[in-house]
Amino acid sequence: MNALEKNFDIMTNYNEVVVEHVAFNGKGKVAKVLVDKTLSIKEQLEKAYMLTQNIEDGWWNNELVTNISQENALRSTSTEDIMHINGEKYMVDMVGFRKLN
């Protein structure tokens, strides 16, 4: 797939979730995560959360995640961090997500 086809695929099949680290003296907006737009908003948030966890490797090494911070290595997304999607904000809660707008 060439770059034009890849960009078209991203534009038509994915939403972008911006992850903002707020908890633990967060670093601000740290990641852009591509998620399947056919999923519900809750499922898209869950996918972005899962993709920004440091489990077997740093989350910034995932093809669907872009590190937009000035740091080379960052912590996993955590409770109280914010996820931005479709012009709305959601806080990572103890269980699930709480809409802030």
Please answer whether residues 18 and 83 qualify as being in contact, where contact means their C-beta atoms are separated by less than 8 angstroms: yes
Q: Using CA atoms, how far apart are residues 14 and 9, in angstroms rounded to an integer?
A: 8
In this prediction, residue 52 carries a pLDDT of 97
Q: What is the 3-state secondary structure (H, E, C) of 12-65?
A: HHEEEEEEEECCCCCCEEEEEEEEECCCCHHHHHHHHHHHCCCCCCCHHHCCCE
State pLDDT tens for residues 74-93. Answer: 999 999 999 999 999 999 99
Q: Which residues, other chains included, contact 3 with Cβ-Cβ below 8 Å and sequence gap of 6+?
A: none
Which residue type, as a one-letter code, is found at position 52?
T
The number of distinct structural domains making up the chain is 1
In this prediction, residue 3 carries a pLDDT of 86
In this prediction, residue 17 carries a pLDDT of 98
pTM given for the model: 0.90
State pLDDT tens for residues 7-22. Answer: 888 888 999 999 999 9
State pLDDT tens for residues 41-50. Answer: 999 999 999 9
Domain residues for the domain of 28 are 3-99
